[in-house]
Structure 1
Amino acid sequence: MSIEQKTVKSGKRYRANVYINNQRATGSWHKHKKRAEKDEVEFKHQIYSGSYVKETDKTFDECAEIYFKLIAPKKMKPTTIRIEKLYYNKHISPVFGYRKIVSIKSYEVQKLWTEKEESLSSSTISRLHNLMNKVFKLFIKWDEIKKNPMINVEKPRVRYQKTEIWNKDEMKRFLEHSKAFNAYIVFWLALNTGLRQGEILALHWSDIDFEKQELYVRFNLDRMTKKRGSLKTESSERTIYLTHSQISILKKYKENQAFKTDIICTSEAGTYIDPRNIRRTMQLICKQADLKLIRFHDLRHTHGTLFLQVTKDVKATQQRLGHSDVRMTLDRYVHHSDIAQKQTSELFSNFIDD
């Protein structure tokens, strides 16, 4: 153990030196010798207690790359990893990528999040925060660093975007106008089953049992590869029970389908439909039908809300939509069900007055 000294323009600097198994470990340079001596005492304590960690000199970019290569593929789908990398390269790497991971301070991250609040949503900042936290936690787990600065960083509370939905008449008007377009079956499935866009575009005719009147949700269309892949969550794999009239519509559509392929929703070339074309078509239909423009995902919200209003069954709605937690169903759909709330209020009032 020793205290090393050097002289710079502004004065003297001190740091603790320690040798462990013939390898040299050093503390940070300090203006005051007492601070270096404090580091020396801390080194001794860590060595004798067996808690000493020789921290890595890797940059945050290097650490993030290791996370994306070794850990992310075990926990995320390829599409999600690509999106995470895009976020990282655009928002995190330019600020912290070149820095050694051990040099990043809590207040620096907090400052970045505050600056980003002017241009990014709270959910995006939260996503960036979680990504950095995963990298730090991984390298602590591997005994490469001692501290996780993210513990002391406040991430913004996610403000969920209010969903826009259509009522029954608006839904019927949209479907009527969409019949003239190739994507009609996509919109019909969204509003009649509540499936996610990727689940709809991945559907094959072999996923429907016409005799049992069942539709099996088993795949999701990967936007990047244009191939069928795994679903969002385990609970996303589900069976949708279809009515006789819905089966009739699907049978008729299959008979008249231009391309004799197993894919249900085909482009004009007989391939999987590009989601970007769905968005453009939806904008055009809404304009023609004089309807407020909503997102494609809001068709799913529309179905879920109307389904809950009719059935008044939260559990059935959860299973139909493939939610992993019933709280998600309650948070997203119950507050929209004004009609159901009025009906249940009247039922309770009648019970009390009786």
Structure 2
Amino acid sequence: MPVYKDKSRSGKVSYRIDINFTDQNGKRRHICRRGFAKKKDAEAEEARIRMTLSDNLPAAITLDALVDQYTASYLLEGVKESTLMSNLTMYKCHISPILGSKRVKDITVSAVTQWMTNMLEKEKPDGARYAANTINNAKMVLSKYLSYAVKLELIPDNPAQKVKKYQDPDETVKSDEAEINFWTEDEYWHFISYVDDPEWKDIFLFLWETGVRRGELIALRWENVDFGGSKIRIEATATNKTKKRGQIRTSPKTRRSIRTIDMPDSLRNALLERYKRHQRRDGFSYDFYVFGDIRPLSPTTLKRKHDEYMDKAGVKRITLHGFRHSHASLLIMHGLPDQMIADRLGHTIEILHKVYAHIYEQQRNSFKNELNAIYTRENYTQTTRTAVPLH
């Protein structure tokens, strides 16, 4: 965060700006401004300085320097800090060693293609090659930074956009993750029968009956639960992809992810019993996490317990995100309206149809079978075949 809070010995609070950037000669520079009485004044001055720096970026700037500039001004680009940190990790690991010292204007389609070739030959510490998904994600990050260079008029167009995504020719056609990463109702009930701790049973029931993302579950507080209306407000997610250490509670993945979802009676009753148990804890308040206490549940612990109970039950292994796929698949198969399912998941209709295409294909096949049953000759009655006079 470029704007920081200062506190004098007398306790008076003011704000300062700290900006690191690369000057026109390619040298690292630092700007510090102090004494702002209000945070919004410091942020306005920071924005003004950022705009000035963007206007004076050198034509010979390297990709590393451009990424530094982008990182320093990410708030102006409307980028979440968790996304910024995730992209930076990918950049430093896979892109900077090859392209970081190159001038942005020298990064051509040929240079991007050569970089992808290097990625194909690159080995992990265990000697394995990187998957196509990793290579394409790295290319997407590179493309994002080069689009920023286009915006600043450093280059006329984005060469990464002219390079096709990589497809591994040795990979057989795979089913979509949602097609294999889910449980049937029988598989879920078999699994949950082996969860002997009510605290953990609540967690897996919640995932199964709401389809929320892991981070949304972890970030849920009691203030977000409306027992009277049997509703849950999803307005935050948990992430550790920030400059701060540990997990933080932040805004959800997309604007559509902020939503209110209905609770089935079974989930409402389970959460009400959980609330009664947690209410007896010292210092309890509505700020406590539903699946934690004053601190949120650790994602590592959540994964470990999920693995532990799957092993115990001997069921097909799915990821925690598989609960979300299972929830959506179940609602689709039961014929609930697409728009309501999309709203519940925080999706658009288009994404819903894309991710769960295999379920819709099954429905279409069932529909065709029903059509065939209706329109077979032996099923036609005399009444069906009788023409209705037109008036």
The bucket for the TM-score relative to the shorter chain is 0.7 to 0.9
Q: Take 2:216 and 2:371, find their aligned partners in 1: how far apart are those partners?
A: 39
**Counterpart selection for 2:247 from 222, 226, 235:** 226
Over the aligned positions, Cα root-mean-square deviation in angstroms equals 2.7
**Counterpart selection for 1:69 from 69, 72, 77:** 72
Structure whose alpha-carbon radius of gyration is higher: 1
Unmatched 5+ stretches in structure 2: 1-56, 122-128, 169-173, 381-391
CA pair 245-152 structure 1, distance change in 2 beyond 3 A:
closer
| Partner SS, residue 311 of structure 1 | coil
Equivalence for 2:371: 348
| Partner SS, residue 56 of structure 1 | coil
Q: 67-76 vs 287-296, which deviates more? A: 67-76
Q: What percentage of residue pairs aligned between the two structures are identical? A: 22
Q: 214-223 vs 133-142, which deviates more? A: 133-142
| Partner SS, residue 115 of structure 2 | helix
Is 1:271 aligned to residue 295 of structure 2? yes
| Partner SS, residue 245 of structure 1 | helix
Q: Which amino acid aligns with 2:143?
A: N
CA pair 148-229 structure 1, distance change in 2 beyond 3 A:
closer
CA-CA distance at 1:247 after TM superposition: 1.5
CA pair 102-74 structure 1, distance change in 2 beyond 3 A:
closer
**Counterpart selection for 1:96 from 96, 99, 102:** 99
Equivalence for 1:3: none
Q: Take 1:261 and 1:313, find their aligned partners in 2: how far apart are those partners?
A: 37
CA pair 219-112 structure 1, distance change in 2 beyond 3 A:
same
CA-CA distance at 1:79 after TM superposition: 1.1
Q: 55-64 vs 337-346, which deviates more? A: 337-346
Equivalence for 1:332: 355
**5 Å matches for 1:283-322?**
283-322=307-346
Q: Contact between 1:183 and 1:265, CA under 8 Å: does it hold in 2?
A: no
Q: How many residues align?
A: 300
TM-score (norm 2): 0.69
Q: Which amino acid aligns with 1:272?
A: P
**Counterpart selection for 1:167 from 184, 189, 194:** 184
**Counterpart selection for 1:60 from 60, 63, 70:** 63
| Partner SS, residue 117 of structure 2 | helix
Q: Contact between 1:266 and 1:273, CA under 8 Å: does it hold in 2?
A: yes
**5 Å matches for 1:1-354?**
56-71=59-74, 74-117=77-120, 119-146=129-156, 148-156=158-166, 161-163=176-178, 164-180=181-197, 182-224=199-241, 225-257=246-278, 259=281, 260-262=284-286, 263-267=288-292, 270-323=294-347, 325-336=348-359, 340-341=363-364, 343-353=366-376, 354=380
| Partner SS, residue 260 of structure 2 | strand
Q: Which amino acid aligns with 1:249?
A: A
Q: Take 1:168 and 1:337, find their aligned partners in 2: how far apart are those partners?
A: 18
Q: Contact between 1:61 and 1:97, CA under 8 Å: does it hold in 2?
A: yes
Q: Take 2:135 and 2:305, find their aligned partners in 1: how far apart are those partners?
A: 31
CA-CA distance at 1:281 after TM superposition: 1.0
